[in-house]
Amino acid sequence: MKELKTFYRRRLPHYQPVDSILFITFRLAYSLPKEIIQQLFREQEERKSEIAQEKDNVRRFELISQEQKRYFGHFDTYLDRISTNIRWLENSEIASIVYNAILFYDATEYDVVAFCIMPNHVHLVADMKRKNRPAYDILKKIKSFSAIQSNIIIQRKGKFWHNENYDHVVRNGNELTAIVEYVMQNPVNAGLCKSWDHWRWTYVNVDYLQ
């Protein structure tokens, strides 16, 4: 099987090597104010221009990785603290639909390492080597099904999930441990609970932590 290549969905690049573990974040539509999105995009474009001037390939790759982490850090902080009133995932019935939709493809399309459902976004760590299918295709199924069911519950029509997803290739075991810890602690750091295991919508496959 050929290596999956970089592809673009709207503004963000998505790169999925064969046998990779991905850290993916997807959010509700309209969950961030437009001015915040515009600010993050401007900052990212400025950094891209600066990075492009770096002639050393190794150094440029390091800078790109650092920029991705910086962008995600700001992005996730805004989701936790500065959001619109779009928090449909606080509804336990809707959260349950998303929870079960993610696990529906576990051990068939991918292997779930961990995930956490927050009020307006979802963090998912997935091992893709089972079939090496593009993560986008699986997420499309998860988001499509959960959107239809959730809109019925809240009696609305229209876009439920934001079109874009953020994803990051996990490079090694140490990084995997750090990312899973981040996912588990997200509701704690957002002030939603005192301990990660008190949050109903967190899932961890302990086999990956051994």
Read off the pLDDT of residues 11-70 as tens digits, 9 standing for 90 and up: 455 678 899 999 999 999 999 998 888 888 888 788 888 888 888 888 887 887 787 778
**In Å, how far are 25, 63, 85, 138, 147 from 125, measured between CA atoms?**
9, 23, 26, 13, 21
Q: Which of 1, 40, 47 is nearest to 166 (CA)?
A: 40
Architecture of the structural domain at 7-30+86-209: 2-Layer Sandwich (3.30)
Pairwise pLDDT comparison (46 vs 187), residue with the higher score: 187
Q: Burial-class residue 38 by CB neighbours within 10 Å (0-12, 13-18, 19+).
A: exposed
Give the CB-side neighbour count of residue 27, counting CA atoms within 13 A: 21
Pairwise pLDDT comparison (207 vs 4), residue with the higher score: 207
Task: Please report which confidence band the pLDDT of residue 10 belongs to, taking 50, 70 and 90 as the band edges.
Answer: very low
**In Å, how far are 21, 40, 198 from 129, measured between CA atoms?**
8, 32, 31
pLDDT for res 53: 87
pLDDT for res 3: 52
What are the residue boundaries of the structural domains of the chain, listed by start? 7-30+86-209, 32-82
Pairwise pLDDT comparison (51 vs 112), residue with the higher score: 112
pTM reported for the whole predicted model: 0.87
pLDDT for res 86: 95
pLDDT digits (tens, 9 = 90+) for 116-171: 999 999 999 999 999 999 999 999 999 999 999 999 999 999 999 999 898 889 98
Q: Which of 186, 52, 180 is nearest to 112 (CA)?
A: 180
